[in-house]
A and B are shown apart, each in its own frame.
Chain A
Amino acid sequence: MSGRSRFLPYLLLAPSVLFLAALFVVPLVETIAISFSDNGAPTLDHYRRMAGDLNFWPAVKNTFLLVVTVVPLQVAIALGMASMLQKLPRGRDLVLWIWTIPLGVSDLAAGLVWLALLQERGYLNSALAALGLIDGPTQWLTYETPGTLFVGILLAEVWRATAIVFIILVAGLQLIPKEYREAAEIFGASPWTTFRRITLPLLKPSLQTALILRTVLAFEVFAVVYAIAGRNFPVLVGEAYVWQRDNQAYGVAAAYAVLIVVISLAATVVYLRVLRSRTEERS
């Protein structure tokens, strides 16, 4: 009986481990192999071609630009939303439900929704024209208007993916015992001090999770950008897709994939180090 219970956890874990190994580790190893070989011979050619391509540096720049603007913005907005939700005496579930609607929308669909809003004959232009602010259809999303194009993508990404950060933070906030805040109130701490000294430190584990999740996903941004900007705004995953699908150069596509994995892993390590929570430090 005791022998059985010792193996039971492993037995239970085995299917998921096997599943992940088969569908994640194997393809990952194969992708790395493809990126470093050409007809069986080892080579760095695919990486050279990737780095030498006209869209490589724009893609790197655009991807990082999106990450460093979208993620902080989303965390700030989600923190605000989560704190406000805490204060609601009633109707919390309804607000929570409405705020998380974008979670249920696929990213390509979200991109298409924003395209419909922002394109030349979209709702934004109709509204602006009705208000007399523009004369006729104005183009916001072309290669000639990189600024508004970027803002468009930013809006869509913030709209689409803030909810996931928000959900994680709401869960984190609910884990913080009320007594801390009540004690702070009794000692006359201002709301801002309470937030800074109590909420934020205790929220760290949730923040860490949210940040890792969102940053990794932001580095993988694709469908929204593809729908709104097409090839006007190259990003890393988009380039991987183009090399795989259009250029049929699987080695270069694999090189992009490996690069994205490396960047995501690096970001995760940075977060784990910077945001290490106190309990972890002690143990």
Chain B
Amino acid sequence: MNAISRLTVAGLAGLAAALAFVPAYAQQQDVVFLSTQLRPIEEAQKVREVILKGFPGKVTYLVEEPPQFDVRMRAEGQAGRRTVSLAGALHGELSALQPSGDLQAIDDIAAKVKDRGIPANLMELGRFGTGKQVYIPWMQATYIMVANKKALQYLPPGADIDSLTYDQLEAWGKAMTDKAGKRLIGFPAGPKGLMPRFFEGYLYPSFTGGVVTTFRSPEAEQMWTKFAALWKYVTPNSTSYDFMQEPLMGEEVWVAFDHVARVKEALVQMPQDFVTFPAPAGPKGRGYMPVIAGLAIPTGAPNRDGAVALIEHLTKPQTQIVTAAEVGFFPVVKAELPADLSPGIKLIASAVAKTQNAPDALPALLPVGLADKGGEFNKVYFDAFQRIVLRGEPVKEVLEAQAGVLKGIMEATKAPCWAPDKPSQGACPVQ
């Protein structure tokens, strides 16, 4: 008996020690900076060694995948034992934490960084429609198209790669399939891919001029029919792709759409093999989605002063330029990018600039006010895609059914419309 209970005691002691270890690294004077962005080891090292260089205090930079980030932030709040002083995450990830009260108001910091020149519409996003600043914009990115140079010979005659239309993309796909003998367009429609953003920020705005209000419009029906036609030239492996950089490097696909951070490796490693360009345009314009990462301070942060100083450091124009050069996320403040960027980052920067400055550019904001229903919102669009394009169900029926789900989400969250939908009184209506 003694031996066994000793074992049990030892086990429990081990467990207790493991639990006690968690906050042990959070020394009082440290700023624990927890981020869902810049997670890969090389990028995290860049943050620690380059981006945070010159910051006077000591920072513990930790990364966490979005779901674990969410759980940790909530759990620390519920336990009343906060270790994280600064949280860096995407707009949508932070918005999920706002209703639970895990993020504090930081209007004082908003006033402090006023002279940085962060555009008013970005600051507005950081308020989640609450009137109080919840996060300070940190860095931005968007989605671009990347093509292998071998694909360029099949571009339809007369098409300008920097102002493609969806019709031309389809013709291009057809030409590649016919001549090269396989389907060479790729989309990130895998389990961790960002495909829903393509529907919300690109396809829907380009074809219907809206995202929510126009969900089951006649234009949306035409759009899905069109996209199903384009999908004939898309590799069926797409439903396994999470990041497009590997299939691009392995030449499994020649033309791909993805978030800049998810094609960066291909562009940095083989800049001479690829061209970059904006996503195509539809009848209503060239929809595109700016992606914003923000910095927020959790409620009860152990080192608020350190976090404030860190926000000031990270939003300095000089730091923002270094961030762009090192990890490919672009400044949210007024800052000139240096001319000597690496060729890969230059490819990204040029496509981003071409997207933003396109005459028919139609910015589609990230969903605002969905709180923790962001995942279900994405599911509405992805389910529509699965049913219409992959399973061949009738367009109208699917849109009717999915519109019901969408309506439920909008009414439950009372989220007002965001661009490009017209502003609404109360919950954004599904027409």
A residues neighboring B (CB under 8 Å): 8, 11-12, 15, 54, 120-121, 136, 139, 141-145, 226, 229-232, 242, 244-249
Contact = CB atoms under 8 A, between A and B. Distances in A.
Contact of B191 (A143, A145, A226): A226
Given A247-B376, A248-B96, A12 B4 contact: yes
A226 B191 CA distance: 9
B28 to A, nearest CB: 32
A230 B238 CA distance: 11
B240 A232 contact: yes
Contact of B236 (A8, A121, A143): A143
A249 B390 contact: no
Interface stretch (B30-38, B358-366, B378-386): B378-386
Nearest to B402: A54
B374 interface: yes
A143 B4 contact: no
6 pairs of A and B residues whose beta carbons are closest in the complex: A142-B236, A247-B375, A248-B375, A15-B8, A144-B236, A230-B240
Interface string B1-37: 1001100100000000000000000000000000000
Interface string B181-192: 010000000110
Contacts of B375: 246-249
A231 B96 contact: no
B191 A142 contact: no
Interface string B228-256: 00000000110110000000001010000
23 contacts: A12-B4, A15-B5, A15-B8, A54-B383, A54-B387, A120-B237, A121-B250, A121-B252, A142-B239, A142-B240, A143-B239, A226-B191, A230-B190, A230-B239, A232-B239, A244-B67, A246-B379, A247-B376, A247-B378, A248-B96, A248-B374, A248-B376, A249-B375
A127 B257 CA distance: 32
A55 to B, nearest CB: 8
Given A11-B1, A248-B375, 17 more contacts: A12-B1, A15-B4, A15-B5, A15-B8, A54-B383, A54-B387, A136-B182, A141-B240, A142-B240, A143-B236, A143-B239, A230-B191, A231-B191, A245-B67, A246-B378, A246-B379, A249-B376
Nearest to B68: A245
B372 interface: yes
A229 B239 CA distance: 9
Nearest to A252: B376
A247 B8 CA distance: 39
A244 B375 CA distance: 10
Contacts of B8: 15
A248 B387 CA distance: 21
Nearest to B8: A15
Interface residues of B, number: 27
B236 A248 contact: no
Contacts of A249: 375-376
B376 A143 contact: no
A2 to B, nearest CB: 16
B69 to A, nearest CB: 12
Contacts of A121: 250, 252
Nearest to B66: A245
A245 B4 CA distance: 39
A176 to B, nearest CB: 33
B10 to A, nearest CB: 12
In this complex, the member of B70, B375, B383, B386 whose beta carbon has the largest number of chain A beta carbons within 10 angstroms is: B375
Contacts of B190: 230-231
Interface string B244-285: 000000101000000000000000000000000000000000
Nearest to A242: B191
B429 to A, nearest CB: 22
Contacts of A226: 191
B357 to A, nearest CB: 34
Contacts of A15: 4-5, 8
Given A54-B387, A139-B236, A231-B239, A247 B379 contact: yes
A111 B383 CA distance: 26
Nearest to B383: A54
Contacts of A145: 236
A83 B4 CA distance: 38
Contacts of A248: 67, 70, 96, 372-376
Nearest to B196: A246
Contacts of A54: 383, 386-387
Given A12-B1, A15-B5, A143 B390 contact: yes
Contacts of B390: 143
A231 B188 CA distance: 12
Contacts of A11: 1
Contacts of A12: 1, 4
Interface in B111-125: none
Contacts of A136: 182
A248 B8 CA distance: 36
A249 B4 CA distance: 42
Given A226-B191, A246-B375, A247-B375, A120 B239 contact: no
A246 B67 CA distance: 8
B1 A8 contact: yes
B64 to A, nearest CB: 13
Nearest to B390: A143
A231 B236 CA distance: 12
Nearest to A49: B405
In this complex, the member of A8, A12, A144, A232 whose beta carbon has the largest number of chain B beta carbons within 10 angstroms is: A232
A145 to B, nearest CB: 8
A8 B96 CA distance: 51
B188 to A, nearest CB: 12
